[in-house]
Structure 1
Amino acid sequence: MSDWNVNLYLQFGTERTQPAIDLISRINIANPNKIIDLGCGPGNSTECLRRRWPEATITGLDSSPEMINSCRENYPDQEWILADAAGWQPSSACDIVFSNAVFQWMPQHDRLLGHLFAYVAPGGVLAFQIPARIYSALQQLIIEVANEPEWIHLMEGPKNTFTIESPAYYYDALAGTASKLDIWETEYWHVMENAQAIISWITSTGLRPFLAALETETQKQRFVKILGERVAETYRAQADGKVLFPFRRLFVVGYK
């Protein structure tokens, strides 16, 4: 799969950062010493952590060279690590293990959470948010287009890219080791300029594996064209011409 497009991702930087802000606001730790931001992207969530806890040692980690290069360019005085979050093994435990919209790209969340929670310091917290299990009609539209006869034979992998479980699943995965769990969902109603803006939103994230699987540029253009038509039919314009894009997210905060 091609690397992440930082500029396209940050086209909706405000909307993508708000869930990180909301998650951080629910973490009840006064003075953490060491924080890791797993899947930090271009550093937007890491900076939110820094504003909340300016005295802490905060490290951003991401598997995308383009994202980490952007972080190093924009925040040269901070620590950034190019690595896979699933294999992260710090030299010492962290007071806050944080992740904003990353775990959905990884399989076997019970094992993942067990691995990460082992590196939470006593009294510390594991906090993450991901898209909710059924977060919008958009994902269903992508699957419908992926099932078109001309490329369905290429789509088995992309359709299984994401792992998104239920709130009850995450409770069971952490209840045996966490001293306290906070789990909730929030639905954001993003105001988009038009239906095409929704396509721009998803092209930089959830649509990537589907487009990467296609064999020609013509196929990619057709896929996006068909999806764009269906998105325009589903997400109708408001009185002022703008489009409301509902996006539900799941939040989990587990204390050790």
Structure 2
Amino acid sequence: MEHLLYFTNNLNERNMDTNKTDTWSASQYTKFENERNRPITDLLNRVPVNAVSKAIDIGCGPGNSTELLKARFPDANVSGIDSSADMIDAAKKRLPGIQFDVVDITQWHDQKSYDLIFANAALQWVPDHINLFPKLIQKLNKGGILAVQMPDNFEEPTHRLMRTVASEDQWKNKLLDATKRVAREGADWYYAHLRDKVTTIEIWRTTYFHPLQGGAKAIVEWLKGTGLRPYLDALNEDEQSLFLHKYEEELSKAYHIFDDETVLLPFPRLFIVAVR
């Protein structure tokens, strides 16, 4: 077996439980679609085949990743699943010729096998990776590919400051569950647990630097579509406004804001491409 562990640092996102109230907003998520599409394109470019017959986009969101997946493999039978009905509705409107279904990945019992399972910015919301990843690999045909991208920003100021603001007395009891996020494992962990289950594995980490117009408020708008959701979902409307105000204040201290109100947001992401 060949194993490649590859790290880069280049200058160049959702709760999957369908039993919970769906508060994900496709319109909020797509406010930064160009920026969110960059790692999707980078992941697709590293898929080491020129054609696949059957592919699925798990955690497909509003269909932006599925659209790029279909463009990369135009002859493939492509489908998508997501836990959010709002996201799936948006995906169906965007790509009416593709099959999309509301499915919780932890309850995904599809008996089909695939040439490509694509998971962009989705699996970081799902627990039990030690069992989840082998199950996904088992759904691949021989020579099939698991392609995964996950944000690796849990220790970035954006997320550390969420936890800091959440620890304030006025709402800390409400936000206990929000601060107990799925553990983020490192490249070594995924390599160690997947290397004997696949023929090749490539792992790398890229930090993107996104110039956002609007200072700290722009960072808040970005994260309202993803990382802030567990916190906001636990608060009432007045509390949400106060939480976001305090969070924005902390962000403005942590990030340099240029004279034209541009802020450069570093966003590290972990990529995995494994071939069965």
TM-score, normalised to structure 1, is: 0.96
Tell me which residue corresponds to 1:195. Answer: 216
Q: CA deviation at 1:91?
A: 2.9
Secondary structure in 1 matching 2:159: helix
Q: Deviations over 1:106-143 (max 9, x none)?
A: 11111110111110110011110101154521100000
**2:136 is the counterpart of 1:109:** no
Deviates further, 35-44 or 239-248? 239-248
For residues 44-193 of structure 1, the aligned pairs below 5 Å read: 44-132=64-152, 134=154, 136-193=156-213
Secondary structure in 1 matching 2:173: helix
Q: CA separation in 2, counterparts of 1:35 and 1:86?
A: 19
Tell me which residue corresponds to 1:218. Answer: 238
Q: CA separation in 1, counterparts of 2:152 and 2:200?
A: 21
**2:261 is the counterpart of 1:241:** yes
Q: CA deviation at 1:2?
A: 4.0
Percent identity of equivalent pairs: 35
Q: CA separation in 2, counterparts of 1:91 and 1:109?
A: 20
Tell me which residue corresponds to 2:251. Answer: 231
Secondary structure in 2 matching 1:28: coil
Q: CA separation in 1, counterparts of 2:217 and 2:143?
A: 45
1:23 to 43, 55, 62: 43
Residues 133 and 70 of structure 1: CA distance in aligned 2, closer, same or farther (over 3 Å): closer
Letter in 2 for 1:165: E
Q: Which has the higher contact order (CA 8 A, sep 6+)?
A: 2
For residues 34-45 of structure 1, the aligned pairs below 5 Å read: 34-45=54-65
Letter in 1 for 2:170: E
Q: CA separation in 2, counterparts of 1:5 and 1:134?
A: 22
- CA RMSD in angstroms comes to 1.3
TM-score, normalised to structure 2, is: 0.89
Q: Deviations over 1:83-118 (max 9, x none)?
A: 112222333210001100001111111111011111
Secondary structure in 2 matching 1:191: strand
Unaligned runs of 5+ in 1: none
Q: Deviations over 1:194-214 (max 9, x none)?
A: 210100000111101111112
Q: CA separation in 2, counterparts of 1:86 and 1:127?
A: 18
Q: CA deviation at 1:152?
A: 1.1
